[in-house]
A and B are shown apart, each in its own frame.
Chain A
Amino acid sequence: GAVVSQHPSRVICKSGTSVKIECRSLDFQATTMFWYRQFPKQSLMLMATSNEGSKATYEQGVEKDKFLINHASLTLSTLTVTSAHPEDSSFYICSAMSRDTQYFGPGTRLTVL
């Protein structure tokens, strides 16, 4: 199957700082990638759809100015959590579509102190 990677796997930051998470499709090109967030014991919640070369589409209730998404190439999308606060602590997971199948990255554990 197709491989999606994320970096970093875990990050701890201070409140008020910004954190960037990278998502890469390693063996395929993805014009569309997706960013999900998952809180403990809960399911994945779609945050936004990242489109190569254009603006991301955010789900209702997700602040676009707080969660900046850049999809600069066909293999890389980045999510920047700006001015992070403790309530942003979560597990962030990206995915990309390859031949009608969506493949997920390993996730990034963000802890905001």
Chain B
Amino acid sequence: LAKTTQPISMDSYEGQEVNITCSHNNIATNDYITWYQQFPSQGPRFIIQGYKTKVTNEVASLFIPADRKSSTLSLPRVSLSDTAVYYCPGRNNAGNMLTFGGGTRLMVKP
């Protein structure tokens, strides 16, 4: 079972870039790295997924170093509506099941 570690909370201000790093010490060779965003009383929303190097979409960028032991979710120019919990779940040994840690609670202030 691949567990992940990420900061419990982060604060930022509107317009800033936010980088949240996750440790994937036990990541399996074939596992993708996926990040989710969750608002209160809603299911997690898929943000971005990658295997190595850098992935970018309309919402965020994901940086994965060569050893894949960590990943960094980068949110450009955050707004108040980006206040949420961000998760980088690990996977089970078969790689088909996500296991969630505590997530990072991001607070964006005006």
A residues touching B (Cβ–Cβ < 8 Å)? 1, 4, 6, 32, 34, 36, 43-46, 49, 91, 93, 95, 97, 100-107, 109
The yes or no answer to B41 lying at the interface (CB within 8 A) is: yes
Which B residues are CB-close (under 8 A) to A100?
A: 32, 49
Q: Which of A45, A102, A106 contacts B42 (CB 8 A)?
A: A106
The answer to whether A102 touches B87, judged by C-beta atoms less than 8 angstroms apart, is no
Can you add 19 more A-B contacts, CB < 8 Å, to A44-B44, A101-B34, A107-B41? A1-B46, A6-B43, A34-B97, A43-B101, A44-B87, A44-B100, A46-B98, A46-B99, A93-B43, A95-B44, A95-B98, A101-B49, A102-B34, A103-B46, A104-B44, A105-B43, A106-B43, A107-B43, A109-B41
Chain B residue with Cβ nearest A6: B43
* Docked pose: A36 CA to B99 CA in angstroms: 10
Which A residues are CB-close (under 8 A) to B98?
A: 34, 46, 95, 102
